A and B are shown apart, each in its own frame.
Chain A
């Protein structure tokens, strides 16, 4: 049972990749990327968890209580910002693709075929 969080992370990663591979709509591709990213969040946060631990904020709890690992939370925080901004960039590209190609189906984006 204690493998469940890690299994969820693996599942999200693979399902996200499947979404990217099988998508017929570019916005769905980008949201599938977000699913892959959330796999990394689940993994990191699951790694850092300590049983019975509190959040690593000691404003009103005695400093000697068990705390969960704060480093993974920082990693996830950084990644959330990175993902949000790259998603914005990709969505801007999709908006332009829709205007220029008239479609958001990856199949219809032709000019780079060899």
Chain B
């Protein structure tokens, strides 16, 4: 581009940094205002008349403003990390980063259903371009194509859902749609609209079997972009499902609440378990972290599926904790990639001894994923556990523990192998594909020292996970916000009528001994599994073939399904779509 000689790296960084900081400050201000009374801002001044909206509203409640602030913080972190991660990067990266941040802010703050989809597409467009950024390698091209095709189809499904709702209610404003559906109740059209909208957002959130694109995209995107994807983009899909349920579908689906609960929890459980399984199998560290994100998203979907305020509070806290932790872990992986030009666990065997600080961070991150108290992820998980017991789904706690243990174990195993040189040097099984030898041309020769910024930023993020859990008002504020989020009737009041609503205060929950017990189980499980992963080969050899054989075959089948072929992915998407549609029509209509 000809403009390029006029722009300097420092100028790009300064302008982008200033913008990112400004957005963080503004979102934080919004959050503090919205926590007192939610804001309905009508674009162009088109206030609704008689509860009919003709403009677009930003319906800002504490959950939306909080997620907007969180995404802005992660954009700032990604930018700070990229200052030193890329040796040279042109202004296009900064522009796309800012556009991506803008899309996330719009997505979380809007109150209009079509506007939500427009910002979903903006997130997508910026994300596809950022995923394919490193075109010097071949893999990013395929990853970006798989990502773009799958998410585009998700967008089309959502559009059909919006069309159906518009045909039924004549409205695009979410509050108005909810109000209209309250009057008419559920019928096949509303159920199919719900299925399609959920399909779209669950694809973004990478629920099984809509998840195949995620590992491909995370594996090839540059690290600062992965930080954003794993930290907040995928979680926004879960947010959208919750928002749509509580604003639009809570009314007509109220008689069928148990069925909706069961369906969402089923999706969540399958996602969590499959993600954990695939996560532990990986040797490509970015794919490993990607599948661990899938597993945690499964936990979040279970949380949303519990359909209660306490569970939603747990989801909110969990998103913050998981996002910060996963971002820090990706940054650690970035240090390894930056330094050693490879991201394969076995290629890196023992080489991490040069950078022990990163090893410490990775171990802390792995323990946090296993829900170590008193960090934020632990706080979120304990809220989820309480909510599961209250809703009669106590067995979900076992799923949570398994997920935490497996994903934490994978990270701990990597840390042990890379930074301590534990475990065998060669990989089992000759047929495994060689994982990421990456040339990442933005970086020139292999550096011999790691810029301090690349370590400081993950430290700050992990410190935030501790801070959020320990600041006295933070978790109770999230519980309050969640209670307001689930108040279906109040939403239409403050959006369409601008009437101030008084909410009863919510009794904050407390960490009980049982929660600490569960999390020590998962931490212990993580450490044990990691040890097995590192040192367990002689044990595995002792397992008789007749017992281990079918398990291994099943495992290989599941792994082979993640083939990288876009036709496979869409075939599974269609299968998931028709299955969800059939189940919902049979149980809800």
A86 in contact with B128 given A13-B156, A21-B570, A43-B160 (CB within 8 Å): yes
Chain B contacts for A40, CB-based, 8 A: 156, 159-160, 163
A-B pairs with CB below 8 Å: how many?
Answer: 124
Within 8 Å CB of A114, what residues of B? 281-282, 287, 433, 559-560, 562-563
Q: Is B118 an interface residue, CB under 8 A from the partner? A: yes
Whether A72 contacts B149 in the complex (CB less than 8 A), given A40-B159, A96-B141, A106-B566, comes out as no
Inter-subunit contact A86/B152 (CB<8 Å): yes
Stretch at the interface among B11-19, B73-81, B131-139: B131-139
Interface size class of B (residues with CB under 8 A): 35 or more
> Which residues from chain A contact B128 at a C-beta distance below 8 Å?
86, 89-90, 93
Chain A count of residues within 8 A CB distance of the other chain: 42
CB closest residue in chain A, given B556: A114
Given A29-B149, A89-B125, A93-B148, the answer on whether A44 and B163 have CB atoms closer than 8 Å is: yes
How far in angstroms is the closest Cβ of chain A from B102? 16
Q: How far is the CA of A79 from the CA of B163 in the complex (A)?
A: 12
Q: A15: CB under 8 A from chain B?
A: no
Q: Does A109 contact B (CB under 8 A)?
A: yes
Which residues of the other chain, A, contact B220 by a CB distance below 8 angstroms? 112
User: What is the interface of chain B, defined by CB distance below 8 A to chain A?
Assistant: 114, 118, 121, 124-125, 128-129, 132, 135, 138-139, 141-146, 148-149, 152-153, 156, 159-160, 162-163, 166-167, 172, 216, 219-220, 281-282, 287, 433, 559-560, 562-567, 570-571, 574
Q: Are A20 and B138 neighbours in the complex by a CB distance under 8 Å? A: no
Please give 13 more A-B residue pairs, beta carbons under 8 A apart, in addition to A43-B160, A82-B121. Answer: A22-B567, A33-B149, A33-B153, A39-B160, A47-B167, A85-B125, A93-B132, A93-B144, A93-B148, A100-B135, A100-B141, A107-B565, A109-B565
State the Cβ distance, A77 to closest chain B Cβ, in Å: 12
Which residues of B sit under 8 angstroms from A79, Cβ to Cβ? 159
Contact of B166 among A22, A29, A72, A113 (CB under 8 A): A72
Question: Nearest Cβ in chain B — how far from A68, in angstroms?
Answer: 14
Question: What are the residues of chain A within 8 A of B571 when measuring CB–CB?
Answer: 21
Cα of A16 to Cα of B374 in the assembled complex, Å = 50
Indicate whether A90 sits within 8 Å of B148 (C-beta atoms), given known contacts A21-B567, A22-B567, A112-B564. Answer: yes
Please list 16 pairs of residues, one from A and one from B, whose beta carbons are closer than 8 Å in the complex, sorted by A's number. A20-B566, A21-B570, A29-B567, A40-B156, A47-B166, A78-B114, A82-B121, A86-B152, A97-B142, A100-B135, A100-B138, A106-B567, A111-B139, A112-B139, A112-B143, A114-B287
